[in-house]
Chain A
Amino acid sequence: MFRTALRNVLAHKARLLMTVLAVMLGVAFVSGTLVFTNTLSGALQKSSAKGFDQVDVAVTAEVQDDVGDRIVKTPELTQALLEQSAKVPGAASAIGVVNGFTAIADKDGKLVGGGFQSQGGNYWGAKDARYPLTTGHAPSGADEVVIDSRTAERAGYKVGDTVRISVDGPVLTPKITGIFTTDDGNVAAGGSLALFDTATAQTLFGKTGTYDEIDVRAAAGTSQSALKSALDSALPKDRVETETGKQLADDQAEMIAASMSGMKQGLLVFAGIALFVGTFIIANTFTMLVAQRTKELALMRAVGASRRQVTRSVLIEAFVVGTVAGVTGLIAGVGIGAGLRSLLGTLGATVPDGPLVVSGGTVAAALVVGVVITMLAAWLPGRRAAKIPPVAAMSSVHATASTKSLVLRNTLGALFSAAGVAVVLAATTMSGSDGQAPMGLGAVLLIIGVFILTPLLSRPLIGAAAPVLRIFGVSGKLARQNSVRNPRRTAATASALMIGLTLITGMTVMAGSLQKSIDKMASSAIRADYVVSMANGNELSADIDEKLKATDGVTATSPMRNAPGRIDGTTEYLTGVTGSTIGALTDLEVEAGSFEVGGGQVVVDDATAESHGWKAGSSFTVNYEDGKKQQLTVSGVYEGNELIEGILLDNAALTPHLAEPADMRVMVKTSGGTSDATKDRLEKALGANPAIKVQSKQDLSDEVAKMFTLMLNMLYGLLAMAVIVAVLGVINTLAMSVFERSQEIGMLRAIGLDRRSVKQMVRLESLVISLFGGVLGIGLGVFFGWAAGELLGTSMPTYELVVPWARMAVFLLLAAGVGILAALWPARRASRLNMLAAIKSE
């Protein structure tokens, strides 16, 4: 039996190649994902473990909660604490660490690396063990800096160059005195690191005389935990926390694993989709292999093979196919994993170096997925094969498609679909996060329902295409009839495409709508011409506002100054604005009262007003961070958004209470409106600072759009998998149809249908099936996009449904393209069919 099965595998090479490809793609994706994430997290973990080499125990400040009316400040790690730590028994030395945002500009004045990864710190003493210098010497004084070797290489800096650097606004131009190497995870991931001497770093980061962390090294013979307990007993417990280097490394490793698992799961979902779609194709292929071999199998039954033996022969065949696909998929997957890494590299993200990790788990997963999926998919056809009666060996024609009634199937499908639609609709009426789970459930139910119903839907939907097909004469007519001839097969083929397009369309609709609404949120409430902010979202120094105000052509500015305050026993973030200009710079919807900011008059957004039970005219007491109190009155309630929310009060009232005023952003109105020249002037006024972004409303919109486009493109790339698998499916189905109908095609050729028309007939059939899948998928996708939007809309006032019709048209064309592409080979085969062999009865 095994030999027969093996012979069969080899007998239908082309068809099996397609099946193997379908399984292989899925396996490749799964194993590629595993290899990539394992490699990446392995490399990151290694580099992070190295990063803690120089730390035996880290001392950090204990974060404290605000109490009563008081804002409680985090205690400072003072010089005294540092000295105390160094003197603890068992401590060899102690280093004070200072961190902060430091943007480095390249020679063209552009920011090196992404804004979020631009780090700065202190170089401890004359020789800092954490950062071995490859050239030059340690920085000393405000005019000297050392930078990491990767950044130096990227920007082309050498020792002795002057570099433009910015910490919180003003541009500094220190000289590079040294270049160091580091295992810092952030640098490994593509960030930059600039180090000053400790005093300079403390001044620049606004931490004069204090540290962010004290790293203590143990003396020879003292363990990390012994040092930790020594430190714990020596230092004030209520102010500091201690952790061993090993603990820190473990924590970080865990964090990396956790952050990786999100990405891993995301990628695996797509792999799952590809495999799911692939399952249909495998099932289809085996169904067709069984159908083709009806006579042969019946003969085997007639000469004494048992049902079980027949089923087993089909399953053995599936096993062989699955194993081959699993192995080749794994190899391809390793390639994908390596490829992804270098792709990320070329996209600008620096990926830490490390060996490619192909774990035993990955190998096992690839093989299990390949073999199990294939065998599962082949199981039903295998059972069908076993049911072939021995007498079928005597009959002359191929087994006709199962004509079993579709009643049960349709009823089940209708039930699923109805339940799915009902649950989705019910979910849209729920609010925000409550609706997510029901929405997902409904979506799955509906997709299953529609999938079950596709055979039923195929007739009317394909029937609707009849007028168009009539243009093509006989080929069109035959194509239409052929495509509804075996509804189950058509359905399985179209479903593969449907699922891919449902996801693609749903994502597109959702992303488009979200983009529009976030765009609206970000820009519609702003009347300012420009918004100035820090590249990394950090705070700007307060003198930026002053500088902007003094710039030519600037008519109004207002900073948005954030400061905590205690109100009614909770901490609220207050936003200080320039009361006199804020009205001209924003365009906020006022829901109640009037928009008056000045003196004790404040405006609050709807959410804050609701949580405190305030109305226009209410008043409340705020406790500032310096401990002073003030009575404030709500003059109006406005509709908050992403950019502007919370309590807006006049800076004249707020700033005196702040030790270090800093602004999230500054809004600017100019006499000339937005123009390149104005933007240029503003940037110049700020010293052409690499760390500061000057953005017009259009820039803000573009930024949002860019983010969404990037995200969508990544999704499209991943979903392309499903489409490729769908193409294989259509090819398979057509090849099977052509094979089964070879007698018919031969007859048609004999009575005068020319080759071109035969080709056209197959192509049209393929087109019809693909478009059928496409229309179903796009329809479902739009519905899901709409439903998800309804859900989002409850928490996003500006949400509006955007159906990108042009994109939908592109997707439909894509489906048509799939059809035409898939038909190339089967159509050619059909037209080259040997007429005589075909019409000769068997």
Chain B
Amino acid sequence: MTTSPLAERTTAVAARATDLSKIYGQGETQVVALDRVSVDFRQAEFTAIMGPSGSGKSTLMHCVAGLDSFSSGSVRIGDTELGALKDKQLTKLRRDKIGFIFQAFNLLPTLTAIENITLPMDIAGRKPDKEWLEKVIRMVGLADRLSHRPSQLSGGQQQRVAVARALASRPDIIFGDEPTGNLDSRSGAEVLGFLRNSVRELGQTVVMVTHDPVAAAYADRVIFLADGRIVDEVYGPTADSVLDRMKQFDAKGRTS
């Protein structure tokens, strides 16, 4: 079961892009980063976005996550149409509905681990759900490191804090931008394990951009982008199947 039509899945959609285009520049120098992309991210599904450099995979994620503007088409997070939102509303949407995990961890060095985890709630002025918070912390195994500052933690531990931060506010959807890019394979495997667990056990929705077939194998579904278009989709991927696909694209790219 390598491909299956979208219609076969019936679960609710957490985020949806329809005919999404992103064009930089004008006329001669025009660059099409995204070319009428339509994609759904279903609830409680772990999606990986893959593609060679410049394929538009990061741009797709940024546009869907409300970090970047798009030229045409539509993006919805839950019931909210992003195109109509002003910066302030977008910011609020990111704060309340979206979680982020970055390649460079991006923790605040002045805050302790626990303060970093609850930062989105602090910004919103909300009290964290204690039970949930404990559950998340237990899951990422940071219970004994909560009062440490980022500089006292290893890279893997820092990214676990970042995962906990993304999960803590119970967002509708979590976006990860190469979350394992700065980690060694063991720490990377750990973080990916947590992400998968959060989908399986907590019903979280996760979308992750990566170029690592091993990381992509943790996902339920892999989307392949090339030249700003979705070129393929794999359900239940393994590292080998993903690698195979990528080799095909490379070969195609070379022959065309």
CA distance A750 to B107 in the complex (A): 12
A residues less than 8 Å from B102 (CB atoms):
747, 750, 839, 841
Would you call A836 and B182 a contact (CB within 8 A)?
A: no
B88 interface residue (CB < 8 Å to A):
yes
CA distance A841 to B108 in the complex (A): 15
Which B residues between 67 and 116 are near A, CB-CB below 8 angstroms?
67-68, 87-88, 91-92, 94-96, 99-100, 102-104, 106, 108-111
1/0 per residue B111-137: CB within 8 Å of A? 100000001101111000000000000
A743 contacts which of B62, B94, B96, B106 (Cβ < 8 Å)? Answer: B106
| Contact of A751 with B94 at beta-carbon distance under 8 Å, contacts A478-B110, A482-B110 already known | yes
Would you call A752 and B110 a contact (CB within 8 A)?
A: no
Nearest residue, chain B, Cβ from A747: B106
Nearest residue, chain B, Cβ from A483: B110
| Contact of A757 with B123 at beta-carbon distance under 8 Å, contacts A749-B91, A750-B100, A752-B91 already known | yes
A418 interface residue (CB < 8 Å to B):
no
A744 interface residue (CB < 8 Å to B):
yes
| Contact of A750 with B67 at beta-carbon distance under 8 Å, contacts A396-B104, A755-B91, A839-B102 already known | yes
Would you call B110 and A753 a contact (CB within 8 A)?
A: no
Which A residues between 598 and 621 are near B, CB-CB below 8 angstroms?
none
1/0 per residue A4-16: CB within 8 Å of B? 0000000000000
A485 interface residue (CB < 8 Å to B):
yes
Which A residues between 370 and 401 are near B, CB-CB below 8 angstroms?
396
Would you call B68 and A743 a contact (CB within 8 A)?
A: no
B177 interface residue (CB < 8 Å to A):
yes
CA distance A836 to B108 in the complex (A): 17
Would you call B100 and A477 a contact (CB within 8 A)?
A: no
1/0 per residue A719-762: CB within 8 Å of B? 00000000000000000000000011011111111110100000
Would you call A753 and B123 a contact (CB within 8 A)?
A: yes
Would you call B125 and A473 a contact (CB within 8 A)?
A: yes
CA distance A244 to B181 in the complex (A): 93
Would you call A841 and B100 a contact (CB within 8 A)?
A: no
A54 interface residue (CB < 8 Å to B):
no
CB distance from A612 to the nearest CB of B (A): 72
B residues less than 8 Å from A748 (CB atoms):
108, 119, 123
Nearest residue, chain A, Cβ from B87: A755
For A482, A747, A749, which residue has the most chain B Cβ atoms within 10 angstroms? A747
Would you call B95 and A481 a contact (CB within 8 A)?
A: no
| Contact of A751 with B123 at beta-carbon distance under 8 Å, contacts A396-B104, A743-B106, A841-B103 already known | yes
CB distance from B18 to the nearest CB of A (A): 22
A230 interface residue (CB < 8 Å to B):
no
CA distance A743 to B104 in the complex (A): 9
For B88, B91, B100, B177, which residue has the most chain A Cβ atoms within 10 angstroms? B91
CA distance A478 to B107 in the complex (A): 13
B residues less than 8 Å from A477 (CB atoms):
122
1/0 per residue A806-842: CB within 8 Å of B? 0000000000000000000000000000011001010
Would you call B94 and A750 a contact (CB within 8 A)?
A: yes
1/0 per residue A445-487: CB within 8 Å of B? 0000000000000000000000000000110011001100100
A residues less than 8 Å from B110 (CB atoms):
478, 481-482, 485
Which A residues between 310 and 358 are near B, CB-CB below 8 angstroms?
none
Would you call A755 and B120 a contact (CB within 8 A)?
A: no
- Interface residues of A, dominant DSSP: helix
CB distance from A607 to the nearest CB of B (A): 63
CA distance A744 to B110 in the complex (A): 11
1/0 per residue A471-508: CB within 8 Å of B? 00110011001100100000000000000000000000
Which B residues between 166 and 222 are near A, CB-CB below 8 angstroms?
177, 181-182
A residues less than 8 Å from B119 (CB atoms):
474, 748, 751
Would you call A752 and B87 a contact (CB within 8 A)?
A: no
B residues less than 8 Å from A744 (CB atoms):
106, 108-109
Nearest residue, chain B, Cβ from A839: B102
CA distance A751 to B101 in the complex (A): 10
CA distance A36 to B88 in the complex (A): 55
Would you call A751 and B62 a contact (CB within 8 A)?
A: no
| Contact of A841 with B104 at beta-carbon distance under 8 Å, contacts A473-B122, A751-B123 already known | yes
A residues less than 8 Å from B177 (CB atoms):
839
B residues less than 8 Å from A473 (CB atoms):
122-123, 125
B residues less than 8 Å from A746 (CB atoms):
106
Nearest residue, chain B, Cβ from A484: B110
| Contact of A751 with B95 at beta-carbon distance under 8 Å, contacts A474-B119, A481-B110, A839-B177 already known | yes
Would you call A478 and B88 a contact (CB within 8 A)?
A: no
Which A residues between 143 and 164 are near B, CB-CB below 8 angstroms?
none
CB distance from A99 to the nearest CB of B (A): 75
For A750, A751, A835, A841, which residue has the most chain B Cβ atoms within 10 angstroms? A751
Would you call A753 and B106 a contact (CB within 8 A)?
A: no
CB distance from A714 to the nearest CB of B (A): 44
CB distance from A369 to the nearest CB of B (A): 39
Nearest residue, chain B, Cβ from A750: B100
CA distance A754 to B123 in the complex (A): 9
CA distance A757 to B122 in the complex (A): 12
B residues less than 8 Å from A485 (CB atoms):
109-110
B residues less than 8 Å from A835 (CB atoms):
67
Point out residues on B near A: beta carbons under 8 Å. 62, 67-68, 87-88, 91-92, 94-96, 99-100, 102-104, 106, 108-111, 119-120, 122-125, 165, 177, 181-182
The 5 closest A-B pairs by CB, nearest first: A752-B95, A841-B104, A481-B110, A747-B106, A754-B91
A to B CB contacts below 8 Å, 17 in the list: A396-B104, A473-B125, A478-B110, A485-B110, A743-B106, A747-B108, A748-B123, A749-B91, A751-B94, A751-B100, A751-B120, A751-B123, A752-B94, A752-B96, A753-B123, A839-B177, A841-B103
Other than A473-B125, A747-B108, A755-B88, give 14 A-B pairs with Cβ distance below 8 A.
A473-B122, A474-B119, A478-B110, A481-B108, A746-B106, A751-B94, A751-B95, A751-B165, A752-B92, A752-B120, A836-B68, A839-B102, A841-B104, A841-B182
Point out residues on A near B: beta carbons under 8 Å. 396, 473-474, 477-478, 481-482, 485, 743-744, 746-755, 757, 835-836, 839, 841
